Amino acid sequence: MAGKLDLDPRVVREARALAARAGQPVVDLARSHTTVSVERAVLRLAGVRGADQDGIPWVNRLVDAVRADVGLEHGVAVPVFHAMRATGVDDVTVLAQKAAAGAVRFGVPLKKADVTAARRMARKATGDGLRTIDRRRAERERMIKRYGDPAQRPWIYLIVATGDILEDIPQAQAAARAGADVIAVIRSTGQSLLDYVPEGATREGFAGTYATQENFRLMRAALDETSKELGRYVRLTNYASGLCMPEIAALAGLERLDMMLNDSMYGILFRDINPIRTFVDQRFSRQVHARAGIIINTGEDNYLTTADAVEAAHTVTVSQLLNEFFAHEAGLADWQLGLGHAFEINPELPESFRLELAHALLARELFPDAPLKWMPPTKHMTGDVFRGNLLDGFFNLVGALTGQGILLVGMMTEAVVTPWLSDRDIALQNVRYVLTGAGNLHEDFVPAPGGFIQRRAHAVLAEAVDLLKRIEGDTLLNAIADGTFGIMKRPADRGKGLDGVAKHAEDYYNPVTEALES
């Protein structure tokens, strides 16, 4: 596939080097801070389960209690396991319940031996959690070996979004039977701003279903059944982004989700979450994904819903390079990088289709080993569902012509409702037609040397390099504050969840990070 654009390898190398330099300060920030959600993720891996009668997870109650007593800056692992030893409680959830009742005090032990002992216990407990994640990963690999991967690329990715896990399940199974390789359960609109992960099976989401460990489990079990029935491993996706990225990443690992929406900047830009909070959370969550063998999906497509897809094309490229850098740094391999981009150019624009081809091919050739995630038209979809199905067909064609890895299937009702059962069926029929009839057309698609498509790709890459230079000079945080991405201005000292961030103390300890970085 590579080579159709005749990109200059030096320019590509320069772009990567710039992204690394622009990203490094943020990595340094992430390595020197923790957040309430990172600490809760640690405790979830250590075994804290369940919620109080108001639905507040015990893990939140426990971290709040620790924080109240000693702050976050030491990490919660040592205070918590020290308290376990001190109180003789041997179940972390019970400890959390006692702590919530005010029956436990937390402190950082002064004696080195106590610290060592607490650390050892913490290591062991979280090690159990990580081992479960490892088992899930092995399980996935076994099932893929048994049932097989999809026969074709791109993988076909479908959304369910009823708000009710019990409606979602049959719809997801029907979608898989109809040809979906990946099912994503969209999240209820409010969830990403909740600073806790809801509990249990849920039936009351708005335009999506809550991401909970139990919902993950139910859907994965249902899709395992369907995988067996179909003789094809059906992947499950959910969303990490939001105030609870680290925890949701942990839960996803524990319940064998296969892909997670996880963007380094989405929460900042589109949920007004504090930048520092997000950067810390995303790093930890990606380390967990790396361990779990989960493929991440980044969110560059979103920029093109608020910014113009032609003007802002290079911001997508810049963001992909940054996401790649952060992902590699967190330990993710290229096959785990579902970098996002989208078919969002105004269809009235002359040459719109060729511009789409240029942008999609640029991404393909910049990231030859990543399973790029190709997102359908949304912004220029209207209530004209007949036209909508047509646009989706041309979107599918770009996907096939440029070798995209994951095709998020567009719905003709994009501008109307969250997808109906029949919308998915019509959409899949559309994908099938295009892949069957024109799946190999890429052999005959050879952008003219020096022609429109090559020129456009080169221009976007050049703009991306320019922008990266500016970002490197001025810092990524300032660039985000200035509205560089998606025209959303997000200063580093604003946004939700900042109060959940703490700078590491000298003695900060996190057994999970330790294990994941070893």
Ligand X SMILES: Cc1ncc(COP(=O)(O)O)c(C=O)c1O
Contacted entry of its own copies, ligand B12, another protein, none for residue 126, CB cut-off 5 to 8 Å set by kind: none
Phi, psi of 73 (to 5 degrees): -65, -20
Q: Is 507 a known active-site residue?
A: no
| DSSP conformation class of 44 | H
Using CB under 8 A as the binding rule, the residues of this chain from 163 to 202 that contact another protein are 163-164, 167, 170-171, 173-174, 177-178, 188-190, 193
Q: With CB under 6 A as the contact rule, which of the stretches 34-42, 107-115, 373-381, 398-406 interacts with ligand B12?
A: 373-381
- Pairing mode, strands 295-297 and 373-375: unpaired
Q: How far apart are CA 322 and CA 330, in angstroms?
A: 12
Q: With CB under 6 A as the contact rule, which of the stretches 46-54, 124-132, 298-306, 357-365 interacts with ligand B12?
A: 298-306
Torsion sign across C-alpha atoms 100, 212, 305, 333? positive
Using CB under 6 A as the binding rule, the residues of this chain from 126 to 155 that contact ligand B12 are none
Q: Is 301 a known active-site residue?
A: yes
Q: How far apart are CA 100 and CA 66, in angstroms?
A: 10
| 299 belongs to the binding site for ligand X (CB under 6 A) | yes
Contact 350, 375 (CB under 8 A): no
| Radius of gyration, alpha carbons of the chain | 23
At 327 the three-state DSSP class reads: helix
Of positions 212, 302, 389, 430, contacts ligand B12 by CB under 6 A = 302
Q: Which helix or strand (DSSP H or E) is residue 68 part of?
A: helix 58-70
Of positions 9, 102, 112, 348, contacts its own copies by CB under 8 A = 348
Minimum distance of its own copies from residue 6's CB (angstroms) = 13
Catalytic residue among 281, 301, 392, 423: 301
Q: How far apart are CA 390 and CA 414, in angstroms?
A: 13
Phi, psi of 510 (to 5 degrees): -140, 105
Using CB under 6 A as the binding rule, the residues of this chain from 33 to 92 that contact ligand X are none
Cβ neighbour number for residue 222 with a 10 Å cutoff: 20
Using CB under 6 A as the binding rule, the residues of this chain from 265 to 284 that contact ligand B12 are 270
Of positions 206, 353, 394, 445, contacts another protein by CB under 8 A = 206
| 455 belongs to the binding site for its own copies (CB under 8 A) | no
Minimum distance of its own copies from residue 456's CB (angstroms) = 11
| 384 belongs to the binding site for another protein (CB under 8 A) | yes
Using CB under 8 A as the binding rule, the residues of this chain from 389 to 428 that contact its own copies are 389-391, 393-394, 397, 412, 426
Contacted entry of ligand X, another protein, ligand B12, none for residue 445, CB cut-off 5 to 8 Å set by kind: none
Of positions 44, 140, 232, 271, contacts ligand X by CB under 6 A = 271
- Please choose, from the candidates 181, 180, 160, 182, the residue with its C-alpha nearest in 3D space to the C-alpha of residue 171: 160
Give all strands of the β-sheet with 235-239 in edge-to-edge order: 337-338, 295-297, 259-261, 235-239, 182-185, 155-160, 406-408, 373-375, 340-342
Using CB under 6 A as the binding rule, the residues of this chain from 168 to 197 that contact ligand B12 are 186, 189
Looking at this protein, which amino acid is placed at residue 187?
R
| Residue nearest ligand X (C-beta atom) | 299
- Please choose, from the candidates 191, 182, 129, 139, the residue with its C-alpha nearest in 3D space to the C-alpha of residue 159: 182
The two tokens of residue 282 are 């995303």
Using CB under 6 A as the binding rule, the residues of this chain from 223 to 242 that contact ligand X are 239, 241-242
Minimum distance of ligand X from residue 517's CB (angstroms) = 24
Using CB under 6 A as the binding rule, the residues of this chain from 162 to 221 that contact ligand X are 187, 191-192
Q: In degrees to the nearest 10, what's the CA dihedral of 336, 365, 379, 169?
A: -30
Contact letters (x/-) for another protein, 387-426, by CB under 8 A? --------------------------x-xxxxxxxx--xx
The two tokens of residue 439 are 């799946």
Minimum distance of its own copies from residue 373's CB (angstroms) = 22
| 73 belongs to the binding site for another protein (CB under 8 A) | no
511 exposure class (CB count in 10 Å sphere: 0-12, 13-18, 19+): buried
Of positions 445, 470, 474, 498, contacts its own copies by CB under 8 A = 445
| 87 belongs to the binding site for ligand B12 (CB under 6 A) | no
| 378 belongs to the binding site for another protein (CB under 8 A) | no
Contact 360, 402 (CB under 8 A): yes
Q: How far apart are CA 324 and CA 319, in angstroms?
A: 8
Of positions 302, 323, 402, 430, contacts ligand X by CB under 6 A = 302
Q: Is 111 a known active-site residue?
A: no
Of positions 66, 156, 236, 357, contacts its own copies by CB under 8 A = 357
111 exposure class (CB count in 10 Å sphere: 0-12, 13-18, 19+): exposed
Contact 481, 490 (CB under 8 A): yes
- Specify the residue, 113 or 448, whose C-beta has the smaller distance to its own copies: 448
Phi, psi of 427 (to 5 degrees): -65, -40
Contact 57, 41 (CB under 8 A): no
Q: Tell me how far apart the terminal alpha carbons of the chain are, to the nearest angstrom.
A: 36
* Residues making contact with ligand B12 (CB under 6 A): 186, 189, 207-208, 270, 302, 305-306, 378-379, 381, 413-415, 417-418
* Residues making contact with ligand X (CB under 6 A): 187, 191-192, 239, 241-242, 261, 263, 266, 271, 298-299, 302
Active site residues: 266, 301, 373
* Residues making contact with another protein (CB under 8 A): 161-164, 167, 170-171, 173-174, 177-178, 188-190, 193, 206-207, 270-272, 305-306, 382-386, 413, 415-422, 425-426
